[in-house]
Structures are given as C-alpha cells and as structure tokens.
Structure 1
C-alpha cells in the first residue's frame, strides 16, 4: 500500500511539472503550435480553464497578465497534500 501512495505522489508531481511547463511555454510564442505544445495544451487546459473563469486577468500597461496559472499551481499543491494525507489516513 505504501507503493500506491508513492505512485499517486509521483503522478501528482508529474502533473504539477506539466503545469509549470505549460506556463513557461506560454512565454515563447510559437511553441504552442508544436506537437509537444498541443499535447501540453490538451492535458492542462481542462484544469487551467477552471481558474481562468475565477481569476480575472489584471490590466498591465497596454495588455493583461493572467495570474490564473499561479493560483492553479498553488491549488494543485493543496490538492496533492490533501490526497496524500487522506491516503495515509486510509492505510493506517
């Protein structure tokens, strides 16, 4: 059962890194058009879109800055902690 927790933690960690990669990818204009960019988009957009509906973009000069990915990553950390605590509680 300890291995199960390890696998769950690994999967949650990997998804967090995928989210971070998606955020970094948004800073480079043409990367989203590559096959790697499209895969990252398909994997992360369902989760990130939840936060885009909640957190409005902030006006910055002539454009906007989207803070929803930052909020989404922090929320993911809380989800990860909660899932691990619940799994450990269920095992003990």
Structure 2
C-alpha cells in the first residue's frame, strides 16, 4: 500500500507533461528547438546502452559484440529499430550459445 502514492504521483507528473505537450496544438516551434529535439531519441538510446557497459560483468564480451554488430547495421540501414532488433538477436544468440 505504501507504493500507491509514489505511483499516483508519477502518473500525475507523466500525464501533466504529456498533456502540456499535446495541448500546444498548432503552436510554432522555433527551428533551433526542432533541430534540438531531433537528437533526443538517439541520446536516450545511447545513454541506455552506455550505462550497461559501465558494470563489470561476465557478459561484457557478448554485449560488446552485439553492440558492434548493431552499430554496423545502423551504419548501413540508418534505422534505430533495425539496430535494436539485430543487436538484441545477436546478444540473445551469443548468450544462449556461450
């Protein structure tokens, strides 16, 4: 029961920020901010990936190989979804095999 209040507060904060963004409607956003916002998905994905390499783990070589393969796929395909899909497939395959 002690988790109800934090979950409710997280819901309210998330809902409020999403509603504020959606309520802008047809408001014009300056070109600087549009250019800035294009980098957010890649930045968040990079932060999540790099975070996993900071911990000492016996899976480090597997993670490194999967990240390199995913990076090569992204270099040629330029689609984040294919990078994630291939990287995870290589990671799970190597982890099951090794």
**Fold conserved (TM > 0.5)?**
no
Q: TM-score scaled to structure 1, two decimals?
A: 0.33
Higher relative contact order (CA 8 A, sep 6+): 1
Larger radius of gyration: 2
